[in-house]
Chain A
Amino acid sequence: MVVGLALATTFAACGNDSNSAAGTKTTGGSDSTAASGGTIKVGVLQSLSGTMSISEVAVKNSELLAIKEINDAGGVMGKKLEPVVEDGESKPEVFAQKIQKLLTQDDVSVVFGGWTSASRKAMKPVVEGAHGLLFYPVQYEGLEVSPNIFYTGATTNQQIVPALDYLKEKGLTKVFLVGSDYVFPRTANKEIKAYAAANGLQILGEEYLQLGDTNVQGIVQKVLDAKPQVVFNTLNGDSNVAFFKELKAKGNTPDKIQTVSVSIAEEEVGGVGVDNLAGHLVAWNYYQTTDLPKNKEFVAGFQKEYGADKHTDDPIEAGYNSVYIWKAAVEKAGSFDVAKVIPAAAGIELDTPEGHLTVHASNHHVYKTARIGMVNSNGLIDEVWNSGQPVAPDPCLDTYPWAKGLATGEARAECDAAK
């Protein structure tokens, strides 16, 4: 105990050294205090413990890699970046608390972080209230635009809608929906059902598993009984492992029932098992195998830093891009002031591992090329189809007639405000 207390006190001493500099300011990111001492603080907030650490630790690593690269190249406007890393503990309330701490107490200029919709929804009011800046690096269910958040992962029309288009084109029209029991899968499936009704897809069933639940036999049986051509899979985390193991054990192969997953990337393939996933489809905007010179550099840099056996994937790459997008916005604004950086970010163009990337002029999302991939026997993902050119982000699906009425209330107001 005494040891623990002594240790804690020591850490407290290290952890609190920012207090004096921060003074009594209540809003984050103005350059006067943040820029003092030739460094600029940036926050990195991912779950480093708890269930989500399975995926989020790697995103933290890629964000730190980008920060390191930028520092090695001289920093941003001559200032070195000083990352302040915090653990979101896979708990939304901790995300809410820690982002407030980062923005107001550590006075960071920007926060990179979040993964689950729950963590983002928890941070949103805080970052808006503190007039801070957050980059959220994961694909999500759409129907949201915040003036203080940039969404560098895909929204539904850049991932799910293209995947549905692909299924339709391939004649895989009998669909079974399987997902984790939370907002992303529920909302995604609502959108999928609206799409299906307008495009002649047939939904044979819709089942949900509690997040992290590995008791999948019942659901697998329901899927097999319904005899769909394809399972549209929005399961997250550990449930995927059990689901695909059971599906394979029951003798299913991709040529009998194909699956399309939107939450399984290279990082997850290893955990699910290559044998269980080979030949199955996934939908993302980036793969480790994406054949672009910028990506070769990125993969080499990531593996050099964290080990040759590490994979890169879409959220990892989006986390990495986020840092560079912010850097470009700061340089364009000529200031670290959030109020100046946010408008400057609009229209920024960058060469990234996933290709040429443009930040949307008003809705805080980015243009992304949709890519359908197939898991190969090495645990990597081969692209089998892409949208050819970057798809404009449309978080409220306003350009799709079948989606009329999906965005209501707050989402409607946010999207209208961002037009």
Chain B
Amino acid sequence: MTELASGGTRHRLSAVLHRRPGLRLGLLISPPMLWLGAAYLGALGALFVTALWAQDSFTGETVREWNLDNFRLMWESEVYRRIALRTLGIAALVTLVDIVIAFPIALYMAKVASPRLQRFLVIAVLTPLWASYLVKAYAWRIMLSEDGLVADVGGFLGLDTPGYGLAATVITLSYLWLPYMILPIYAGLERLPGSMLEASTDLGARTTHTLRRVVLPTVFPAVVAGSIFTFSLSLGDYITVEIVGGANQMLGNVVYDNVGAANNLPFAAAVATIPVVIMLVYLAAARRTGALDDV
């Protein structure tokens, strides 16, 4: 009797779902939509709303008075413009460095390496991602210090360690995000048929010409896809610059200092809108190159 009953309920349920494709769809996408809508977009919404409030500087309490003071302060103060431009510059530089390093590696992995070596190289590229971010950043801190590895090796070439500063920040961030650049480019190059390269050679093109006219245009969307990772991750980063950046600060540090130390949440929220706006513009541009179609 119970079996028939449960069978009956299941049967009825499946019948309802069969008749109502909209309900099916709704049930399927509601968990991820809830995550996207409430958790992600809702959090962003709360952030923007907080940016319009103020803070009592003595007690640190957030005061819900609507005002644009935070944005005005950011706009008028030269230091925040400078920090924003510096952050943008670091993110762009890290992206460029990673493209230059990742491209030959990805090209070798996709086109030259044997299948066994290819698998091994993919694992080798992914392995650093298993190590903790902090471990890697502190490793670079030790390497870049006065008596660290870079100073020792550089001593042979007559150079010295760049020490802690913007150069160190770019080096460390490039190292951290390199796998995120290698893999999309590798995937893009894999999709490039080997026959195209052969055809290009048959038509008389030399290697550089083939690279420039055949490989690069095809792989450009993949490069842009990889750059989204390195650019956005560098834009918001605040830990690396604290560890190896010496006395410098990036946008993330201003947000961190205001959320953590100063507890000026409204101002931190206002500063946090800058990277969000930059990334929206960047993503809109990236979409036009077709990079997001193949990701």
Specify whether A and B are partners. no
A interface with B by C-beta (< 8 Å)? none
